[in-house]
Amino acid sequence: MTFQIRAISIYNRDGEMRTVPFQAGSLNIITGDSRRGKSAILTIVDYCLGSDDFVIRGAALRNFVHVFALTIIKGDEQLFVARPAPVGKAATNTTFCVVSQALGAPPPDYASLTFSMPLDIAKKVLSRFTSIDLSVQLPVARSPRQLSPSVRHGLFFCLQEQNEVANQDLLFHGQMDDFHRSALRAMLPYFLGTVDPERAQLEHRLRLLRRQLAEQQERLSAARPFEHASGTAAGLHGEALEVNLLAPAPAGRLLSHNEIVDRLRQAVEAIVPGAAPPAGEDPLSVLNVARRDLRQAYSRTRVRISNLKTIAKEKDDFLGQVREQHARLATLGLLRRAHQERASQDELCPVCGSRASEAGQVARVMRRDLERLDAEMSAMGEATPDINARIVEEEAALADLRSALARNQEQIEVLSAGQRAAAQDDPQHRTAVVQGRISLFLDTMTRHAQVRVEDRREEIAIEIASLEEQLGNSAQEDLLSSHLSLVNQKIQAKAVALELEHHNDPIRLDPRALTLIADTRQGPVKMSEMGSGHNYLGYHIATMLSLHEWFNEIGSPVPRFLILDQPSQAGFPDETRGGGFGSARATLLNLYETIHASIESLAGAFQVIVLEHADLDEEPFRSAVRARWRRGNGEALVPAHWITYDSNE
């Protein structure tokens, strides 16, 4: 359920008000001469619905009108929106006055208007009044940002300015602007009802999950060093043994990280140091030996890897050679085809007639070689994956060795630091120092939250995959094209009614190019290639009406009005009232009949406002005329007595 226009009001500096009323759910025509403020109706609607700049043109309006206002109705709600003209040198005015009224109430007095609502809030209020779901985020092609639909985007489908209504290059209001074009492309699916409102939540959930996955990865990689006893812990353990804080560990196996930490905790609590230092070897030398071994293993592994790589490369070279030989031998097949028939002469040389028996033998030798090569190639090819697997294994071993070396280095550093510190101290003092360092280490370690990080990556990944599946664009694309095809049918029907060119060919609305395309036998014809202002106009009207019929069917949040500025300009002089121009009149009347039929079919849910030069005497035109602003009767949008050029402001 969205709104229609009830009235447009303007206020002058003295607080006088002029209101132009409209009827909801029907055709409203304002006819009149040029420069009487007809086109201003459209710009006032645009301005009051939150345009970013001061779109209102014309000296009379800019100089003598101070507040522009719009009364819009939705069901039994009525909203009065007023926006003042820019003051002084400002480019535009960004404060609104939005008042909720009882249905049918007249616009409030000038005195009671308070302009306090900023532009962005006003846009949100109006968007909500249009029942647009503000939580929806739509992706914009080729740009990282996302757009939320607003009432401004709805206006793409509700306004057709004088230079747009029959323009061959653009179909929608404001389409010439690049920024608008991308917004239009993004919004069209939403307004056509192909965007699931739940989609936004799903996408949001997907983003959250991706972030979670990244966090998990970080946590896991941070926790990995604790799988082995870290070098620092092992080094401190060694020191604790050195200063008799601990009994030596049972030899013959490496302590796990947790065991070492437990022992360190005991060491901190131990108060009395043991009597004699253990008669163990110096831990530093042990570590150095271990380091040498590790280094040797490391270099051995590297040599193995490079050897394997060489083997693999040689294999490749050899295979290449063998393939070449094989290919050359295989050419035998090209020559032997005729051979079978001439087996009798096989023994004779065709040139000299002498016996040349080795030819058959040569062929035999060659065939043998071929078979041998085949066998070699297959044997070689099968071995290659094994070699590659070996290389991968060895590289993993190398990485392990590298981290072991790093841990060893840490241990050595900690121990030697402890020893340096202890060199000049008595054993008591030294014990205390070691205890202090151990407790510091334990404190920092608990800060690392030694909770086992559970590996939830698997399930998160599964959830992400299923969400991506759900969000797959394919479903939306299908829905979009099916909705568009229904809209295209409506356009087609109207094209037939308006007797437009190409109405026998399938006509479709292209959501990317934002234009109409007729599929002829000679290939697709864009609207801009069709020719004749009559066609452009007809297709514009047909498209807009069809879209609005569709919007109404699905309850799309687009304002339910359409303002057309001078559809008759394309080839209809404004003296049409005189009764001449037989064919032009008939065509114009046909256009209005089409619009009227469309409004009728929607039974009051759709309003069309036409600003027109022509003034026809036939129905449905005559009864739809709401005002005639002519020079003859002195009527115009801005009352004549407002226009006072004697004021020096």
Q: Which of 564, 592, 495, 505 is CA-nearest to residue 535? A: 495
- CB proximity list for 129: less than 8 A, separation 6 or greater: 2, 3, 72, 74, 77, 79, 151
Interaction between residue 353 and other proteins (CB under 8 A)? no
H or E element in which residue 160 lies: strand 159-160
Residue closer to other proteins by CB (options 207, 367) is 367
H or E element in which residue 268 lies: helix 257-269
Query: What is the chain's Cα-based Rg?
Result: 43
Span from 156-164, 211-219, 317-325, 459-467 in contact with other proteins (CB under 8 A): 317-325
Angstrom distance (rounded) from CA 176 to CA 71: 29
User: Which residue in 332, 397, 398, 453 binds other proteins (CB under 8 A)?
Assistant: 332
Interaction between residue 94 and other proteins (CB under 8 A)? no
Residue closer to other proteins by CB (options 114, 321) is 321
- CB proximity list for 55: less than 8 A, separation 6 or greater: 43, 46, 47
Residue closer to other proteins by CB (options 14, 341) is 341
Least CB distance from residue 364 to other proteins, whole Å? 11
Pairing of strands 17-21, 27-32: unpaired
Start-to-end CA distance of the chain, whole Å, equals: 45
Span from 122-130, 351-359, 466-474, 636-644 in contact with other proteins (CB under 8 A): 351-359
Interaction between residue 406 and other proteins (CB under 8 A)? no
- CB proximity list for 114: less than 8 A, separation 6 or greater: 97
Interaction between residue 626 and other proteins (CB under 8 A)? no
3-class secondary structure, 330 = helix
Angstrom distance (rounded) from CA 34 to CA 32: 7
Span from 357-365, 504-512, 547-555, 625-633 in contact with other proteins (CB under 8 A): 357-365
User: Which residue in 91, 275, 351, 451 binds other proteins (CB under 8 A)?
Assistant: 351
Angstrom distance (rounded) from CA 503 to CA 377: 66
User: Which residue in 52, 369, 371, 393 binds other proteins (CB under 8 A)?
Assistant: 369
Interaction between residue 345 and other proteins (CB under 8 A)? yes
Least CB distance from residue 352 to other proteins, whole Å? 10
Interaction between residue 377 and other proteins (CB under 8 A)? no
Number of residues that bind other proteins (CB under 8 A): 33
Interaction between residue 329 and other proteins (CB under 8 A)? yes
User: Which residue in 90, 134, 208, 365 binds other proteins (CB under 8 A)?
Assistant: 365
Interaction between residue 375 and other proteins (CB under 8 A)? no
Q: Return the structure tokens found at 33.
A: 């001469």
Q: Which of 38, 457, 1 is CA-nearest to residue 219? A: 457
Pairing of strands 146-147, 561-565: unpaired
User: Which residue in 223, 270, 366, 497 binds other proteins (CB under 8 A)?
Assistant: 366
Q: Return the structure tokens found at 316.
A: 């490749």
Q: Which of 592, 432, 438 is CA-nearest to residue 29? A: 592
User: Which residue in 52, 169, 346, 393 binds other proteins (CB under 8 A)?
Assistant: 346
Span from 123-131, 355-363, 414-422, 548-556 in contact with other proteins (CB under 8 A): 355-363
Q: Return the structure tokens found at 443.
A: 């404190």
Span from 270-278, 366-374, 456-464, 583-591 in contact with other proteins (CB under 8 A): 366-374
Interaction between residue 331 and other proteins (CB under 8 A)? yes
Interaction between residue 330 and other proteins (CB under 8 A)? yes
Task: Residue 434: count other Cβ atoms within 10 Å of its Cβ.
Answer: 24
* Chain residues 217-236 in contact with other proteins, contact rule CB under 8 A: none
Least CB distance from residue 351 to other proteins, whole Å? 6
Taken in order 630, 633, 634, 639, is the CA torsion positive or negative?
A: negative
Least CB distance from residue 325 to other proteins, whole Å? 4
| Residue whose pair of structure tokens reads 């969205």 in the numeric block | 2
Q: Residue numbers of the site for other proteins (CB under 8 A)?
A: 321, 323-339, 342, 345-346, 349-351, 356, 358-359, 362-363, 365-366, 369, 373
